[in-house]
Amino acid sequence: MTTAETFEHIIRHQSCRELVPFLGALGNSDIVAVRQKTKSLLRELDRYEKTHGRSGLGEYRRVITPEQEMMLFFAGLATYSRKEAQARSFSLPWHLSDRGPDPQGHQEQFMTVLEQARPAWLAEWLVRLTRANQWAVLSYKQLRELEDRNLLAHDPWLFTQSVAHQLTRYNWLRNTYKKPDIDGYDQQILQQLQEDPTLLQRDLLLLFDYDSLVDSDSTFSGKDRELINWLTLLPRLVASGHLNRPEVLTRCLLALRRDFRRPLLTWFKNLFLALQPTPAERLARQTELVDLLAHPLPLVINFALDQLKELWTQPAFDAAALLLYADALVTRQDLKTGLRTLFNGLEKLLKQDPTLAPTLSRLSTTALTSADASVQERAAKLLKTILGARKPLLTAAEAAETTDTISLYTDLLTPAARTLLGPYLTTAPTPGSSTALAAAYAPATGFTPDISEATVIAPVRDWHELLFLTGELLQHNSPVRVERWLDGLGRLRGHYPADYAQQLRPYIVQTASSELKNKTDDEIREYFRTYSFGGIRQGRRELLVALLISWYQGFTQGNVPRANLQPQQYSAPDPLLLVEQARLAALEQRLHTGSPALPLLSTPSHAPHWVAPSALVQRLLAYQAASAEPAAADLALALTRTAATAPDDAAAARLLLPQLQHPELRALLEWYLAPQPEPAALPLQVAPSPGKPIARELTERLGKLIPFLKRTPAADSSPPLAESLPWLWVVAARTRLPYQELPALAAVASYPGVAQPWLPGWHFEQKTHTYKQSWNKQHPEVTNTWQELLVHTPPVPQGLPNPLLLYSYYVQPPKSTTGWYSLFSLQLELPFLLSLFPQNPDPLYWHLIRLSCRTDNSDTTAREVIQTALHALLAAGPAFSEPATLLLALGLTHSTPAGRAVALEVLLASVDTGRLVPDALGRILGKLLAVGFAPVQRLSDALAQARAISPLLDDAVGQVLDELLPLLPTATPLRNTRKLLEAYTDVQQRTTRVVPAPVAQHLQAWSQSAALRKAAASLLTV
């Protein structure tokens, strides 16, 4: 047999014990042949084949065995070139990196193969694997062995990652003991560390130089499972003298200057504190501590200032260096605790060195722009000390400049700061001085969409733009771009170039990743002919990809209906995607039959997602001229997007309606486009005949054309549009009259969102969870308590009466088993879903609140959903409804600064556009804070940033607080209630409003509290 044949025989019939000597004996002339055979065997064996299990159900079994997988890996180590070694598929088997017992001896064989082959790319390969997954790094023991055998040069970054996982290795090695809870395991680990001088003197100190997961590395010791991590081991190594204490302290501070992860920076901070440095040690490192003040994270700055606060008055302390950094600190809005610490220290510096008064005066004046009341108060106190000193600390010119500057900030000053600086304000305000600027905010009534030339969305011009949009379709989730692509796909039918399929090939290859990379056109067509569109994760992108593939195939088969949008074990596509599937399937069917190039009815004609009434009627007339029947799903979505309240364009559309020959459709549009549609004018609907779902109707039609679709009986003879008219009346009515009762629709269906509007309720419910930790003797039982926001609706029958009831899809809550997958789908589809309901998005808002706002501590997916929804509230529109106001309140008290920042933008924009309803927002915020769903601090920070922007905003914020404050508890005031009272005082001083009686009663009760007495008393005198 040839060398390649012998190799194949070993792989198929033997084990690593026979392979390792074979690889060691390979000559240079045999390496290429074995390399090629290795890759061909991987392609053949590394796959799954379908088998029948004992239950008779189909199962998938991996062809390659674990031993064969290990042998082919060893062959790759011995024969691969640098190019093959850097392929993503060539990775280290998990248990080769010293993860416990190895009965097969694979770890020793791994070292033997490396010793024999000595690959030049070994270091590069190990670094690539570790950068891709830091948990896959080789153990420190193995790296040292490779270094001792001259197989690997010392790589500081790679050795750092391995050291940072040492304790995790010890955790895995516990499996070699009979009892996993090892007494004195910490002492064993500590002793092994102390006996390794190379580790102590070289590699352990690298943890301070490179970003690693050392903050996550841990194991435990004894029956009580005492935690062992580097924060417990390093101080003990310092105490025993194995690590140099001054060097470790300095390295901690230098590490805090680096661009590391926030948790790792916290770890270095905690290590420094665990060493309990003395004031003398901190003073010796004042340069390193002061340099930390330039860090972008408040975490690091607050730490540095806290370490410096005891050193201000030390003779050896260099205040000049700190004051250089202070200029940048006092303008930062994300520093609160640090700035308070800073100003405490500046007061000490002033007493020690009065010549610093001009510099400290300038810093304090700049700090008056801070949105935090306590920072302003500290700065004002320092300014008062400087300006009111018995012996002048400033020259006359400096004092005049200071008073002139602080007078410019009068409108920005909080009540406490204004009181302190009142004698020095050259234009001190009086209670009635802002009368001329006062304004009364009231929500806007009515909303008129902007249907003008300025907001027109231009249709696709030519083939080149359509091809460009095809590339964007696969990369972006922009509803407008997708709608333009869909419109162009149908509008340009008949104008595609002859080789359009070849031009689409690069985009088609992207849809299947690397599977189609080197295939011919015929192979690609065959691949998609039997392609399964029923994968686990299905969404709108998959629907669009199915349509793209149909386009590539020349619309010879319908792919859109084949996408499986039913909830599965690990997937819960948004239910409204079924309507989108029906719309796209109708477009696909029309393109298949070569029908005239007709536009989709629901394509937005004006930004952001409006269909102009005249554009809708003109499109319907185009369908009429072509003797084509509109798709029910397309018409339903067109109704939800039609800007029926745009008076001029709606009037132009009504002039075109007499040309529409369909009497029922004409009657529907005459009512829908009326200036003020009357509920009494709704026709008394006859209960619709039970029809087939849209998806089934389309499947039956396409089944006649596509051989592999299941054949079903022919469709009913009645036209689909005639069957859909009762449901289209419901869509039109609920779009124009979302909150009214419509008895005329009761005969259509007895379901929420038809005759009765869907108005869910919401409330907070306290939840608790108790769990036991038997290893923790001090706290054997832990109970967590939290508030949960619940959106509840009465029970409804399973299943919609008809797929066109667009405003009723979310009435039935998702199952608890698919709740997270519903949220995941909502995260992906929300931009598209929001584009469907520019006039009545409330059902969608209730759905996303139910899924993403249940608790205050939401995950990344929920946070993205909330921020996307908040961005949608920035646009012009009608006054906020209850769910929109609830969403804004949840945003203003969100757990992340990014979420609160977007909500603050919404608050400011909604006052300008008249969308804010202050009374409703105040009541909801009061309910949120009163039950403890979110801390008061978050809201007070947001309101502090909304100060003195405009008189209209001041009045709106005052109205919010008028409703909010009476809902807060008085017996036990919430933490930081004082900040809300300070914000309210500030608003009252800027406006001419009086304190309402309910607020005054609460102020009387709060005046008995030591923490709130001062703030409440100042308000009672207003």
User: pLDDT tens digits for 914-966?
Assistant: 999 999 999 999 999 999 999 999 999 888 888 888 889 999 999 999 999 99
Give dist(CA 894, CA 757) in Å, integer.
Answer: 29
Phi-psi map region of 184: left, alpha, beta (phi>0 left; psi -120 to 50 alpha): left
Q: What is the DSSP string of 348-368?
A: HHHHH-GGGHHHHHHHHHHHT
| Residue labelled with tokens 């509230």 | 873
Tokens of 743: 């008895």
Contacts of residue 761, Cβ cutoff 8 Å, sequence gap at least 6: 791, 792, 793
| Tokens 């004092």, located at residue | 399
Mean pLDDT, rounded, of the chain: 87
Confidence of residue 568 (pLDDT cuts 50, 70, 90): confident
406, 429 contact by CB (below 8 A): no
Alpha-carbon span 536 to 958, nearest angstrom: 51
pLDDT classification of 231: cutoffs 50, 70, 90: very high
**DSSP letter for each residue of 420-484:** HHGGG-TT---TTTTGGG--------------SGGGB-PPP-SHHHHHHHHHHHHH---HHHHHH
Q: Which residue has the tokens 């299990």?
A: 53
Q: Which pLDDT belongs to residue 708?
A: 38
HEC profile of 732-773 = HHHHHCCCCCCHHHCCCCCCCCCCCCCCCEEEEEEEEEEEEC
User: Do β-strands 761-772 and 781-792 pair in parallel, antiparallel, or remain unpaired?
Assistant: antiparallel
Check: CB of residue 54 under 8 Å from CB of residue 39.
no
User: How far is CA 437 from each of CA 425, 432, 434, 954, rounded to the nearest angstrom?
Assistant: 19, 10, 5, 11
Is residue 696 within 8 Å of residue 712, measured between CB atoms?
yes
For 60, list phi and psi in degrees, rounded to 5.
-110, 130
Q: Which residues lie across from 51 on neighbouring strands?
A: 59
3-state secondary structure of 494: coil
Total residue count of the chain as it appears in this document: 1022
CA–chain centroid gap for 662, Å, is 47
416 within 8 A of 944, measured Cβ to Cβ: no
Q: What is the pLDDT of residue 507?
A: 85
For 593-623, what is the HEC assignment?
Answer: HCCCCCCCCCCCCECCCEECHHHHHHHHHHH
pLDDT digits (tens, 9 = 90+) for 598-612: 889 999 999 999 999
Please give the helix or strand (H or E) that residue 782 lies within, else none: strand 781-792
Specify the pairing of strand 226-229 against strand 761-772.
Answer: unpaired
Nearest alpha carbon to residue 1006 among 1017, 995, 997:
1017
Q: Which two tokens mark 60? A: 């998938």
Cα–Cα distance between 348 and 354 in angstroms, integer?
10
Surface-to-core class of residue 33, CB atoms within 10 Å of its CB (0-12 exposed, 13-18 middle, 19+ buried): middle
3-class DSSP state of 52: strand
Neighbours of 133 (CB within 10 A): 10
More confident residue, 164 or 696: 164
Task: Please choose, from the candidates 968, 863, 952, the residue with its C-alpha nearest in 3D space to the C-alpha of residue 907.
Answer: 952
Residue-wise pLDDT for 122-141, tens only, equals 999 999 999 988 888 899 99
The radius of gyration of the chain from alpha carbons, rounded to an integer in Å, stands at 35
Residue 247 predicted with pLDDT over 70: yes
Q: What is the mean pLDDT of residues 529-546?
A: 81
Residues 325, 290 contacting (CB under 8 angstroms)? yes
Check whether 179 has a pLDDT greater than 90. Answer: no
Q: Nearest CA to 948 among 469, 366, 410, 276?
A: 410
Helix (H, G, I), strand (E, B) or coil at 149: coil
Q: Which residues contact 538 (CB under 8 A, 6 or more apart)?
A: 563, 564, 565, 571, 573, 577
Q: Residue with structure tokens 């390093």?
A: 234
Q: Which two tokens stand for residue 567?
A: 């909830």
The whole-angstrom separation of Cα 899 and Cα 891 is 6
Q: Report CA-CA distances (Å) from 386 to 354, 379, 424, 632.
A: 9, 11, 11, 76
On whether the CB atoms of residues 940 and 979 are closer than 8 A, the answer is yes
The identity of residue 358, as a single letter, is P
Looking at residue 795, the DSSP 8-state letter turns out to be: -
- How do residues 758-812 score in pLDDT, each as one tens digit? 999 999 999 888 888 776 777 788 888 889 999 988 888 878 889 999 999 999 8
Burial class (CB in 10 A: 0-12, 13-18, 19+), 262: exposed
pLDDT (tens digit per residue) in 379-414: 999 999 999 888 889 999 999 999 999 988 887 888
Locate the domains of the chain by residue range. 1-120, 155-276, 294-426, 764-792+853-1020
DSSP reduced 3-state for 790: strand
User: How many angstroms separate the CA atoms of 909 and 888, rounded?
Assistant: 12
Please classify residue 205 by burial: count the beta carbons closer than 10 Å to its beta carbon, then call 0-12 exposed, 13-18 middle and 19+ buried: middle
Q: How many angstroms separate the CA atoms of 129 and 1018, rounded?
A: 64
Q: How high is the pLDDT of residue 614?
A: 95
Query: pLDDT at residue 818 above 80?
Result: no
What is d(CA 80, CA 59) in angstroms, rounded to the nearest whole number? 34
Q: For Cα atoms 911, 915, 918, give the angle at the middle one, nearest 5 degrees.
A: 70
Q: What is the pTM of this model?
A: 0.80
